[in-house]
Amino acid sequence: METYDALLAAIAPTTGQTRTILDPATGQPVGEAPVHTVQDLEQAIAAAQAAQPAWAALGHDARSAALLKAADAVERSAEELARLLSREQGKPLNGPNARFEVGACAAWLRAAAGTPLEPETVVDDGETRAELHYRPIGVVGAIGPWNWPMMITVWQVAPALRMGNAVVVKPSEFTPLSVLALVEILNQELPEGLLTAVSGGREVGARLAEHPGIGKIMFTGSTATGKAIIKSSADTVKRLTLELGGNDAGIVLPDADPKAIAEGLFWGAFINTGQTCAALKRLYVHDAIYDAVCAELTSVARAMPMGNGLNEANVLGPLQNRQQFAVVARLVDAARDSGARILLGGNPDPDQPGHFYPATLVADIDNSNPLVAEEQFGPALPIIRYSTVDEAVAMANALDVGLGASVWSSDPTEARKVAARIEAGTVWINKHGAVDPRVPFGGAKQSGYGLEFGVEGLKALGVPRVING
């Protein structure tokens, strides 16, 4: 276990250009991040290429054992990692936030290590025997976001390493310290050069996407950036896994119990203060229970404390950066100006330090309003009335994204019927955004392609090879 100060010191740059990272709750410095260059990236890729063959040769069992040791290392430094994450990203220590995220890192490492992947016999008829195997890709480039910087990095890194690849990680410019610290801890149990974080700007990300030494790119972030990566990767025909924007819909059926579902709805929408790709961002509620759902959800939201993440009482934090604060403020103001009813929030304190935007619920809003049609990625939830299930499904499916969705009902059979009609990669019943390392996860439409987690996630980090004969 490293102390918090020792962990910061271990990742502190000793040469080259640096950038001061500020706490989004206070505006105070958290630490200095290196500003790596394209040349640093080239060196990291070269080191990864050198380390990868020996790692691949170890086999699944030895690689899995190393990942289990890496999970132990994360747990030994869990509190220090959580504190750094809270200070840099803004999320509170408690609730489904910083400590939860660090715990998920260990859980996903163990899941990647423990998921079996056996050769598959596809034909064995006495004349032909064909087996499907997976071999390593080589070097994987992992480009992560600022909302769940540690957890999503592990989502990318753990299966890539398990499958025998080396990995070069490019963290978000907003949250590089968290990822650098996580990689520092993981490297306590990994061979030198196998896993490297390169904390650079857009030019580093662009070079990673086009680099001939990279066999696959894994990216979580905006749809616009995902499209740019597709174009950059085309000349080298890279494999891609893209988890892009969501704007997830939830449909509350008329038989639902408003009080019973209120807390689930709240955390589906407001986990990580709404800064989650697969969060609930559009809520469709039947006329018959609309007012009751609004009242119960408002009651839950009003009781959730927001503030500095290092305060143990808080469960909601600031937006991570001022740009995202501006997006949320613009969309809520547009909704108010259109005549929508603000049930709660919508009134940030201009004198409060940090990027705090209060938990906001907006009722009686048109489905075409920008707060509904655009992904707000923050603590503001529009609640839209509907009269028929057909109408609700049509509105839920109207956008060009489809990462996740949810159906809320007292009748699971009816909920599954509605879920089958929704165009999304995952549709949850009476919950939203509940990812599981055993269950494949990926988007539909412009929310990306490729699967993560479980056996399918491991396969996505390998090259299929058929042995026929």
Cβ atoms 304, 317 nearer than 8 A: no
**Residues contacting residue 275 through CB under 8 Å, at least 6 positions apart:** 147, 319, 320, 324, 377, 378
The question of whether 294 is a catalytic residue gets the answer: no
The question of whether 243 is a catalytic residue gets the answer: yes
Looking at 88, 101, 210, 243, which residue is catalytic? 243
**Residues contacting residue 105 through CB under 8 Å, at least 6 positions apart:** 71, 74, 81, 150, 151, 153, 154, 182
Looking at 277, 294, 375, 423, which residue is catalytic? 277
Annotated active-site positions, please? 243, 277
